[in-house]
Amino acid sequence: MTQDTVISVRDLVVGFGSRTVLDRVTFDVRRGEVFGFVGGSGSGKSVLLRTIIGLIPSRAGSIEVLGTRLDTATREERQRVERHWGILFQQGALFSSLTVLQNVQFPMVEYLDLPQRLMDEMAAAKLEMVGLRKADHNKMPSELSGGMTKRVALARALALDPALVFLDEPTSGLDPIAAGDFDALIKTLQQTLGLTVFMITHDLESLNTICDRVGALADGRVVATGSVASMLDCEHPWVRSYFRGRRATALNSRLANSES
């Protein structure tokens, strides 16, 4: 693993019972890029993400994140790595009994020993960075809209200034405008903070606008990796129908028009 590789997955096998969900998955994510993973519903994208972050045990293969072999790491080594990543869950996974501000402060309270004033300031700064109004800082998660929940979850993922952020379908459940805004937000933050972003998505528009590289998951394997443009040349049937299907064609032609 070189300096520039943040995530390195080799021959990863994951299964439940007699079913193998991921079969020898191999890919790399480089420092400072936005890497998007696509795949049909039920293709194991979320399983892949949950395996990398250690929520699901793997059967074989290696996972290396930020220079640490996670599949063989001790508890302490693992915690050291966990401190440097942030995760945005699909449904936000905000703690329902804490306010928005407390949710963002939670990782700070857990990992750092900071004065309350600084934590208040930083949490407010993070929330402002993700575009949440001040009036919403003391709300409970159940009082937030879907878009706001995602923003707060992103602020919480960024609370410790991680080097690496995992996003599980960041734009799902958002309207196209909100999804576009959220994409732009991710891109801005990624550039500003120098993040590496690993995201799982269904959203062709996100892939086109913010991902530097894309991996496609089908039949439990990575069938293609490369830029979005290179995906168009891939001959795998699923990749072809995804990137050259009706919705994709419409989108691509629109993009082509706007560029010309």
Partner 1 sequence: MGSPPSLIARPGADGIEFAAGGAWTVVQARDLDGLIDEAVRNTPAGKPVTVDLHQLTALDTYGAWLIERLVRAREALTGSVRVVGLPERYQSLFEQIRRTEHDGAVPPPSITPLKERIAWLGEQTVRFGHELLSFAAMLGAVVLALGRAIRNPRTFRLTPTLHHLDRVGWQAVPIMLLITFLIGCIIAQQGFFHFRKFGADAYVVDMVGILVVREIGVLIIAIMMAGRSGSAYTAELGSMKMREEIDALRTMGRDPVEVLILPRIVALVIALPMLAFLGSLAALYGGGLVAWFYGGMSPAIYIERLREAISLTHFEVGMIKAPFMALVIGIVACTQGLAVQGSAESLGRETTASVVKSIFLVIVLDGLFAVFFAAVDM
Give the β-pairing of 196-200 and 164-168: parallel
Which of residues 108 and 231 has its CB atom nearest to partner 1 in the complex?
A: 108
The helix (H) or strand (E) run that includes residue 129 is: helix 116-129
Range in contact with partner 1 (rule: CB under 8 A) among 25-33, 113-121, 204-212, 244-252: 113-121
**CA dihedral of 206, 210, 212, 218, whole degrees rounded to 10:** -10
Burial class (CB in 10 A: 0-12, 13-18, 19+), 156: buried
Candidate list 7, 14, 22, 137; residue touching partner 1; CB under 8 A? 137
For the bound state, the minimum distance from the C-beta of residue 73 to partner 1, rounded and expressed in Å, comes to 19
Using alpha carbons only, how large is the chain's radius of gyration in Å?
19
Range in contact with partner 1 (rule: CB under 8 A) among 46-54, 139-147, 215-223, 242-250: 139-147
Residue 138 is a binding residue for partner 1 (CB under 8 A): yes
Which of residues 31 and 236 has its CB atom nearest to partner 1 in the complex?
A: 31
Candidate list 19, 75, 117, 246; residue touching partner 1; CB under 8 A? 117
Candidate list 79, 145, 191, 227; residue touching partner 1; CB under 8 A? 191
HSE of 238, CA atoms in CB hemisphere, 13 A = 15
Q: How many Å separate Cα 74 from the centre of its chain?
A: 24
Interface residues with partner 1 (CB under 8 A)? 96-97, 101, 112-115, 117-118, 120-126, 128-129, 134-135, 137-138, 140-143, 158, 160-161, 191-194
